[in-house]
Amino acid sequence: MQEQNLVQDSERIDQLYSQDVQIIQSNEVFSFSLDAVLLANFVPETKKTRLKVVDMCAGNGAVGLFLHAKIPSHFIEVEIQPRLADMAQRSIKLNNLDKQYSVLNMDIADLYTEIKKDSVDIVLCNPPYFTNLPDSTKNPNEYLAIARHEIKTNLEGVVSVMSGLLKTNGRGYMVHRPDRLADIFAMISKYRMAPKRIQFIHPKPGREANMVLIEVIRDGHAGGVRIVEPIIVSDENNEYTPQVKEMLYGK
């Protein structure tokens, strides 16, 4: 009965079995994909219960919800698109996580009106990957265009707010594309952060990386960045590798 009340027409419930989490999705709007699962997997587990966690560009709340057991603290999901923010709120109710999560339907540029600067322990972000150039080919679906292209925010906006929210030595986690790495490093340096851990994602053996996961620290010591073992998503037969299957379905 609860599912019927929370799921609207054209929507469905998808499940990340490894985390026992259900997410309300729709083909009409942006849905979470493997990059959200990879980002959640990249974030270290903690037993701390008093951390403040902010998930920016949260979409339907997937990344934050996938971390509900790994980080047993309070999450704030921030999403600019009203329909996606509403879906995130209903997914929170669907998973009975109302006490652990809240949703802000707003532009991340305005976040300091709701969240104090220098007050957050962990910031997560699965941002738009592609620059918004006049000749860029964009999806005619507005939801998908905003999720994929820097229409409502851009890399500098994401990095500056991530830095502004974080406490000294707070950690930020981002998934992006390797071809933006030079821009990413320039921006995190500009906004008083340093890369601490990097993991490349390859679609298949022998293929170049098409995603990168980055952990940054606010006002920490420069140097000491770790490049951890890469993840290969699929084998030569287009089957998920055992590592990725475990992320999706558990052991």
- Would you kindly state where each structural domain of the chain is located, as residue ranges? 2-249
Q: What's the topology of domain 2-249?
A: Rossmann fold (3.40.50)
What pLDDT does residue 10 have?
85
In this structure, how many other beta carbons lie within 10 angstroms of the beta carbon of residue 155? 20
Average pLDDT, the chain: 89
Helix (H) or strand (E) holding 201: strand 193-202
What pLDDT does residue 175 have?
93
What pLDDT does residue 146 have?
44
Predicted TM-score of the model (pTM): 0.89
> 53 Cβ partners below 8 Å, 6+ apart?
64, 67, 71, 73, 74, 75, 76, 120, 121, 122, 123, 124
State the average pLDDT over residues 6-25: 89
pLDDT at 216 over 60: yes
Per mean pLDDT, which range of 58-72, 136-150, 218-232 is the poorest?
Answer: 136-150
- 3-state class of 2 per DSSP? helix
What pLDDT does residue 85 have?
94
Q: Report yes or no: 80 and 108 within 8 Å, Cβ to Cβ.
A: yes
pLDDT at 171 over 90: yes
What pLDDT does residue 147 have?
46
pLDDT digits (tens, 9 = 90+) for 190-207: 999 999 999 999 999 999
